[in-house]
Amino acid sequence: MRMISFAQALVEAQREEMRRDEAVFLMGEDIGYSGGSFGATAGLWEEFGAERVRDTPISEAAIMGAAVGAAIASMRPVVEMQYLEFLPYIDALVNLAAKLHLMSGGQILVPLVLRGPLGAKGGNGAQHTQNFEAWFMHTPGLLVVMPSTPYDAKGLLKTAIRDNNPVVFIEEKTIYFTQGEVPEEEYTIPFGQADIKRRGEDVTVVATGITVRRALNAARLLARDGIDVEVIDPRTLVPLDIDTIIESVRKTSHVVVAHQAPKTGGVGAEIVAQIQEQAFDYLDAPIKRVAGLDTPAPYNVELEKKALVYEDDILDGVREVLA
């Protein structure tokens, strides 16, 4: 099968959906001529023009508020936030997008996608290096997608654009240039279906986004020592496919949950809580969270790595739960 990058997969998903539905349009900072800061809209301005691939001023509050206004007025906006760390958009996302359906007693639909980069790129400093996906997960009314491969990114983004709920689509920054197999033919991936990225018998590693790749690398190294790791990628945090995770836990009885985000109050904490609620009796050891440190990211690239999660951290975590 052909290989394309994660960014190219996003471009393809948006191109196909824009061709399919005239209500779909894009807005964001530098997404037109320059194709987006990470190339996720490359070539779309050329094909669809400046009306439907809309460069905006640096006005994150207005971008998000206007996206909600357009969504409730029969359009399907896809917003690229240049960095999801540019936070003035949060008010319109949380106070409008997530709530209008409920507050209107079901009258209003908010079919929009907010997508963009989150997390570390290496030496971007603390403001541009954050993983607050738990905030989105903790906001009822939002669907939250966090893909780990180009294949998943394309299929999930197409589903997100067609969904009638507001969707936050998280792209970790170092993931854009990773390559993966993506078929030429059209497909979508439903929300709420975790993917077992590697089957194993000894220990379950639940990982999200870029951390899935690192968990798979760790699993290959552990296999040399005869440790058979199962790697599960939830793919969507809301809805969360806890059933697939529980099924795996019942088989392996050992669990590591891994992500880049700070450990305290992170997505991992929620997953661990649900596992103990539903499969406590199957566990042979306490569940280990392998997560980012509770700190704003330090600038020095090597020091930044210490605050984040790499293969070695996952290896240590797995060995600890099996010890």
Partner 1 sequence: MMEIRAFEEASLPYFQKPGHGSHHPCIGHEAIEAAIGAVLREKDYLFGSHRSHGQLLTKGLDPKLIMAELWGKTTGYCKGRGGSMHVTDWSRRVLPSGIVGTSITLAVGAALAIKLRGSDEVALAAFGDGAANTGAFHEGLNMTAIWNLPAVFVCENNGLAVTTHFRDSTSVERVADRATAYGIPGRTVDGTDPLASYDAVSEAVERARRGKGPSLIEAMVPRWKGHAAWDRGRYLTEAELEEMQTRDPLPRYRKYLIEEKVLTVEEIESIDAEMRAIMEEAVRFAEESPAPPLTKEEAIKYVYI
The only residue of 91, 284, 294, 316 in contact with partner 1, by rule CB under 8 A: 91
Q: Are 79 and 92 in contact (CB under 8 A)?
A: no
Taking CB under 8 A as the criterion, the residue among 87, 90, 108, 126 binding partner 1 is 108
Give the DSSP per-residue string, 233-292: E-SEEES--HHHHHHHHHHH--EEEEEEEESTT-HHHHHHHHHHHHHGGG-SSPPEEEEE
CA-closest candidate to residue 289, choices 240, 319, 255 = 255
Q: Closest approach of Cβ 217 to partner 1, in Å?
A: 35
In the complex with partner 1, which residue's Cβ is closer, 94 or 283?
94
3-state helix, strand, coil in the chain (%, to 5): 40, 20, 40
Does position 20 bind partner 1 by CB under 8 A? no
The yes or no reply on residue 103 touching partner 1 (CB under 8 A) is yes
Q: How far is the CB of 45 from partner 1 (least distance, A)?
A: 15
Counting contacts by CB under 8 A, is residue 127 touching partner 1? no
CB-facing half-sphere around the CA of 269: CA atoms within 13 A: 12
Q: What's the min distance (Å) between Cβ of 76 and partner 1?
A: 10
Q: Does 70 bind partner 1 (CB under 8 A)?
A: yes
Distance CA 145, CA 148 (A): 10
| 128 is an active site residue | yes
The CB-of-61 to partner 1 minimum distance in angstroms stands at 5
Q: Which is nearer to partner 1, 77 or 150 (CB)?
A: 77
The rounded distance, in Å, linking the Cα atoms of 172 and 5 is: 13
Instruction: Using the rule CB under 8 A, give the single segment among 90-98, 176-184, 211-219, 293-301 that binds partner 1.
Output: 90-98
Residue placing its CB nearer to partner 1 in the complex, 16 or 163: 163
Q: What is the x/- site pattern for partner 1, positions 40-69, by CB under 8 A?
A: -----------xx---xx-x-xx-xxxxxx
Please, which residue, 60 or 313, has the CB nearer to partner 1? 60
State which of residues 119, 141, 180, 234 lies at the interface with partner 1 (CB under 8 A). 141
Q: Which stretch binds partner 1 (CB under 8 A): 140-148, 209-217, 293-301, 315-323?
A: 140-148
How far apart CA 230 and CA 217 sit, in angstroms, is: 12
Residue ranges of alpha helices (H) inside the chain are 6-20, 44-52, 60-72, 90-91, 100-103, 133-137, 150-162, 210-224, 242-252, 267-279, 301-307, 311-322
CA distances (Å), 107 to each of 70, 103, 142, in order? Answer: 15, 9, 17
Rounded distance between C-alpha atoms, residue 92 and residue 63, angstroms: 9
Residue 25 binds partner 1, judged by CB under 8 A: yes
- Regarding 192 and contact with partner 1 (CB under 8 A), the answer is no
CB 205 within 8 A of CB 214: no
Q: What's the rounded Cα separation, in Å, for the pair 124 and 82?
A: 14
Does 81 participate in binding partner 1 (rule CB under 8 A)? no
The strand pairing partners of 24, in sequence order, are: 76
**Catalytic one among 101, 128, 138, 259?**
128
Q: Is 278 in the site for partner 1 (CB under 8 A)?
A: no
| C-alpha to C-alpha distances, 81 to 236, 316, 317, nearest whole angstrom | 19, 35, 34
Q: Determine, following the binding rule CB under 8 A, whether residue 90 of this chain makes contact with partner 1.
A: no
Under the binding rule (CB under 8 A), the answer on residue 281 touching partner 1 is no
Pick 76 or 254: Cβ nearer partner 1: 76
Which residues would be at the binding site for partner 1 (CB under 8 A)? 25, 51-52, 56-57, 59, 61-62, 64-75, 77, 88, 91-92, 95-96, 100-109, 140-141, 143, 164-165
Query: Where in the sequence numbering do the catalytic residues fall?
Result: 128
